């Protein structure tokens, strides 16, 4: 809602230029919910990417291990 210039001038005289009209709680809560959802989604993506790469690295390391050599005494 735009503030009438005359009202703004009177508010500046009484309150100063730091006047901020009250915020609407619905919009503020909605913004925080969107931010929280994005943070959760980002963390899920990071954990998923790390899980894929760590699992792949562990499987590749298991494949590259040399086979154990058993020495049979007496032969």
What Å distances lie between residue 61 and 17, 48, 56, 64, 66, CA to CA? Answer: 65, 20, 9, 5, 10
Segment 34-69, tens digit of pLDDT? 999 999 999 999 999 999 999 999 888 777 777 777
Q: Give the torsion through C-alpha atoms of 18, 22, 24, 28, to 10 deg.
A: 50
pTM over 0.95: no
Domain residue ranges in the chain: 23-63
């Amino acid at each position: 809602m735009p503030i009438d210039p005359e009202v703004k001038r009177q508010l500046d005289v009484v309150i100063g230029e730091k006047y901020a009209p009250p915020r609407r709680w619905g919009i503020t809560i909605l913004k925080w919910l969107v931010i929280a959802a994005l943070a959760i989604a980002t963390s899920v993506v990071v954990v998923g990417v790390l899980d894929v790469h760590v699992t792949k690295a562990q499987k590749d390391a298991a494949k590259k291990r040399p086979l154990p050599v058993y020495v049979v005494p007496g032969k």
